[in-house]
């Protein structure tokens, strides 16, 4: 009998419930399954899928239970080298697939032998027990008169773990007269099974809560990280990215963690344990075989560089009494590394109250490092190559108008983008509307306030490690005839359109120079900067000024490999705050036409007779920031459908 809708609904329910809690699972870890009513097939989470993302049409694979269990009838597997054995196990599991999409979980055999509904997670509290007091603690937390959980000493995942659980479960059944419904696995995680989804969830949550109660009275308090000033933060990030670039050819994403569990690691004994090795298989996959521990910033490069040549290089670097830092190839993997590092820090803090925690043995770690299944899981986080992949961008004025369109275009091109604006709700909404939440960051920035600008750049550096691209797009256009232009409006335009560009570009240049890896700056000017328009004094002056600032900066920063260019858009009406009803009324009066005729009129002035969209401007910015424009600097790219010809 194929999996039915009710059983699939139960799979979705348990997966989303446990997958939404970072104290239960982190990144792509954990798996779930539900068998059909007759037990003939089961739907199991596909390998590497995030539990919270499972739906009716994606994230699970259906397998024949009998075919999966027949793997235990193959004595030849135990005699094979580990890599060959696991490859054959994968072939066997794949041959049992009868529906769904993706690759069956490596733990499918475990699920097949247990109850109808199975939840396998890596709860922080349960793993504090699994990596710490273990079997002894289980005896203390098992309620009187209830059957104890099954304890499995650490065993390599996959075939070895499945056979170990099978043998131990049979011994448990002979002793207690029933199979185990709760299994604690040393340095690994928690398995629970029950006839129905809600029973399974309740059982799972009850045992995690028991672990939490076991540690809570004795767990040491969270440590407060020492404050980190801007110069220290930027110096650490330059060192981290420089060492990685030297070892691996490209700069990574980097982050200083402000998570309470991780922030205090630099001043606790947990740093030594993290540097000695990993606690669980998932930690090796997402944070590397061990962390790097440096006693000072000066000591960091010498410690980090050799470690980066290892097969499972570190994604966590701790500088004593300074902070905990994460490293990864992209923003998605950076978030995964932080999630696993946070879990490790909390495991160590809880376990410290009950005798401490122990790492995986070197041989166990080597198995995970060389296991194809774990490499497969990590590869699922890889994204398709994009022109700006690996770049960190800052866009001012990103809450609306052209800034919004440019920021979205940079995200689509693969960059991690800070959406900066004085309109906090607007920048938050703009970032939330992007295609990848891992690569967006809404930030408050008043471009006329140098402290606000510097603080925003520090936030970007702290989150992603540096700045590779700056796009200055914040601007205003006071619509007045010369004789009616208020001086405060004139000064506001100078402050936002010129001082704002200067402050943002200056901060970006300081960071880019320190990084020593070049960079790209784009000033969003206007066709008005090339060809003045009537009754637009402040806009004419500032947009022309931006172009000359750009040319001077291109000469100044060229020796540092920093390219500075401008885009001069024509009239872009889509989502514009400048082209508001008041401005359109003014334009209508100026041209002697009706307000509804303004947009068609301006489009008619272009050679192409085509309305310019935000995406057209974004495409030009993406080009100028990409390697395709590596020999272009000091230039103005006009995106106006052919209204103004550059001379």
Instruction: Count Cβ atoms below 10 Å from residue 433 Cβ, excluding itself.
Output: 13
Measured between alpha carbons, how far is 241 from 515 in angstroms, rounded to an integer? 8
Q: How far apart are the first and last CA of the chain?
A: 74
- Structural tokens at position 316: 């966590």
Q: Residue 623: which residues within 8 A CB-CB, separation 6 or more?
A: 629, 637
Residue pair 256/282 in contact by the 8 Å Cβ criterion: no
Which stretch of DSSP H or E encloses residue 323? strand 323-328
> Model pTM?
0.91
pLDDT bracket for residue 18 (50, 70, 90)? very high
Residue pair 416/468 in contact by the 8 Å Cβ criterion: no
**What is the overall mean pLDDT for the chain?**
93
Residue 645 CA from chain centroid, whole number: 43
3-class secondary structure for 547-607?
HHHHHHHHHHHHHHCEEEEEEEECCCCCCCCCCCHHHHHHHHHHHCCCHHHHHHHHHHCCC
Whether pLDDT at 644 is above 90: no
Residue pair 178/194 in contact by the 8 Å Cβ criterion: no
Residue pair 101/61 in contact by the 8 Å Cβ criterion: yes
CATH code that applies to domain 392-570+613-638: 3.40.50.720
pLDDT of residue 398: 98
The share of the chain scoring above pLDDT 70, in percent, equals 98
Decide: helix, strand or coil at residue 186. Answer: coil
- Structural tokens at position 231: 């110069």
pLDDT of residue 279: 97
Q: Residue 497: which residues within 8 A CB-CB, separation 6 or more?
A: 475, 476, 538, 539, 542, 543, 545, 546
Whether 539 is catalytic is yes
* Higher per-residue confidence, 28 vs 568: 568
- Digit-coded pLDDT (tens) for 51-67: 999 999 999 999 999 99
Measured between alpha carbons, how far is 254 from 221 in angstroms, rounded to an integer? 27
- Structural tokens at position 521: 């700056």
- Digit-coded pLDDT (tens) for 596-616: 888 899 899 889 999 999 999
Residue pair 261/316 in contact by the 8 Å Cβ criterion: no
pLDDT of residue 589: 87
Measured between alpha carbons, how far is 272 from 340 in angstroms, rounded to an integer? 17
pLDDT of residue 372: 67
Residue pair 609/506 in contact by the 8 Å Cβ criterion: no
Q: Which residue intervals of the chain bear CATH 3.40.225.10?
A: 5-215, 230-375
- Digit-coded pLDDT (tens) for 489-529: 999 999 999 999 999 999 999 999 999 999 999 999 999 99
Which CATH number, 3.40.225.10, 1.20.120.140, 1.10.287.130, 3.40.50.80, labels domain 230-375? 3.40.225.10
Measured between alpha carbons, how far is 564 from 572 in angstroms, rounded to an integer? 23
Whether pLDDT at 141 is above 60: yes
Decide: helix, strand or coil at residue 640. Answer: coil
- Digit-coded pLDDT (tens) for 430-477: 999 998 999 999 999 999 999 999 999 999 999 999 999 999 999 999
Residue pair 316/292 in contact by the 8 Å Cβ criterion: yes
Measured between alpha carbons, how far is 606 from 222 in angstroms, rounded to an integer? 63
pLDDT of residue 82: 86
pLDDT bracket for residue 364 (50, 70, 90)? very high
Q: Which residue intervals of the chain bear CATH 3.40.50.720?
A: 392-570+613-638
Domain 5-215: CATH class, spelled out: alpha beta
* Higher per-residue confidence, 74 vs 206: 206
Measured between alpha carbons, how far is 186 from 183 in angstroms, rounded to an integer? 10
Whether pLDDT at 323 is above 60: yes
Measured between alpha carbons, how far is 125 from 144 in angstroms, rounded to an integer? 21
**Pairing between strand 150-152 and 60-64?**
unpaired
- Structural tokens at position 581: 């009803």
Residue pair 116/192 in contact by the 8 Å Cβ criterion: no
Q: Residue 293: which residues within 8 A CB-CB, separation 6 or more?
A: 271, 272, 274, 275, 303, 317, 318, 320
Q: Which of 24, 214, 404, 539 is catalytic?
A: 539
Query: Which residues are registered as beta bridge partners of 532?
Result: none
Residues making up the chain, counted from first to last? 647
Measured between alpha carbons, how far is 112 from 73 in angstroms, rounded to an integer? 14
């Amino acid at each position: 009998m194929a999996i039915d809708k009710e059983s699939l609904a139960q799979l979705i329910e348990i997966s989303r419930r446990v997958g939404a809690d970072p104290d239960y699972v982190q990144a792509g870890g954990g798996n779930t399954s539900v068998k059909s009513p007759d037990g003939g097939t089961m739907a199991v989470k596909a390998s590497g899928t995030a539990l919270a993302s499972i739906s009716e049409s994606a994230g699970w694979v259906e397998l024949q239970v009998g075919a999966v269990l027949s793997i235990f009838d193959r004595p030849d597997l135990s005699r094979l080298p580990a890599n060959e054995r696991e490859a054959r196990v994968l072939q066997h599991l794949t041959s049992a697939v009868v529906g769904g999409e993706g690759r069956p979980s490596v733990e499918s055999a475990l699920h097949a032998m247990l109850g109808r509904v199975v939840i396998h997670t890596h709860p922080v509290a349960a793993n504090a027990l699994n990596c710490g007091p273990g079997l002894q603690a289980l005896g203390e937390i098992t309620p009187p008169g209830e059957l104890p959980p099954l304890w499995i000493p650490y065993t390599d995942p996959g075939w070895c773990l499945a056979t170990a659980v099978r043998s131990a479960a049979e011994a448990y059944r002979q002793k207690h007269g029933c199979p185990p419904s709760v299994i604690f696995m040393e340095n690994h995680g928690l398995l629970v099974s029950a006839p129905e989804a809600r029973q399974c969830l309740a059982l799972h949550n009850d045992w995690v809560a028991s672990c939490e109660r076991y540690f809570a009275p004795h767990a040491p308090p969270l440590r407060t990280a020492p404050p980190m000033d801007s110069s220290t933060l930027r110096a650490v990030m330059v060192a981290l990215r420089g060492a990685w670039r030297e070892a691996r050819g490209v700069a990574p994403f980097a982050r200083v963690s402000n998570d309470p569990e991780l922030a205090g690691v630099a001043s606790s004994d947990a740093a030594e344990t993290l540097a000695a090795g990993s606690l669980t298989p998932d930690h090796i996959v997402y944070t590397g075989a061990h962390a790097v521990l440096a006693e000072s910033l000066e000591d960091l490069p010498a410690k980090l560089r050799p470690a980066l040549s290892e097969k499972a290089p570190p994604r966590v670097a701790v500088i004593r009494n300074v902070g905990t830092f994460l490293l990864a190839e992209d923003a998605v993997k950076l978030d995964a590394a932080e999630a696993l590092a946070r879990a490790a820090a909390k495991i160590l803090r809880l376990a410290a109250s009950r005798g401490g925690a122990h790492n995986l043995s070197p041989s166990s770690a080597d198995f995970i490092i060389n296991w194809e299944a774990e490499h497969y899981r990590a590869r699922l986080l890889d994204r398709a190559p994009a022109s700006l992949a690996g770049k960190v961008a800052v866009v001012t004025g990103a809450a609306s108008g052209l800034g919004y369109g440019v920021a979205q275009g940079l995200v689509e091109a693969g960059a991690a983008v800070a959406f900066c604006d004085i309109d906090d709700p607007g920048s938050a909404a703009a970032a939330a509307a992007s295609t990848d939440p891992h690569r967006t960051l809404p930030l408050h920035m008043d471009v006329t306030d140098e402290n606000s600008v510097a603080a925003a750049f520090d936030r970007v550096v702290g989150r992603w490690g540096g700045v590779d691209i700056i796009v200055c797009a914040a601007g205003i256009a006071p619509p007045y005839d010369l004789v009616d232009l208020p001086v405060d409006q004139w000064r506001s335009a100078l402050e936002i359109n010129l001082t704002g560009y200067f402050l943002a570009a200056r901060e970006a240049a300081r960071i880019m120079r320190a990084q020593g890896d070049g960079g790209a700056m784009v000033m969003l000017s206007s066709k008005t900067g090339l060809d003045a328009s009537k009754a637009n004094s402040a806009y004419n002056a500032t947009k022309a000024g931006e172009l000359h600032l750009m040319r001077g900066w291109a000469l100044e920063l060229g020796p540092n490999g920093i390219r500075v260019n401008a885009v001069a858009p024509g009239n872009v009406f889509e989502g514009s705050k400048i082209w508001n009803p008041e401005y359109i009324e003014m334009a209508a009066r100026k041209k002697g036409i009706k307000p509804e005729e303004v947009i068609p009129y301006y489009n008619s002035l272009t050679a192409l007779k085509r309305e310019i969209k935000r995406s057209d401007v974004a495409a030009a910015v993406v080009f100028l920031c990409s390697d395709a424009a590596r020999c272009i600097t000091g230039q103005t790219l006009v995106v106006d459908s052919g209204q103004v010809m550059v001379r």
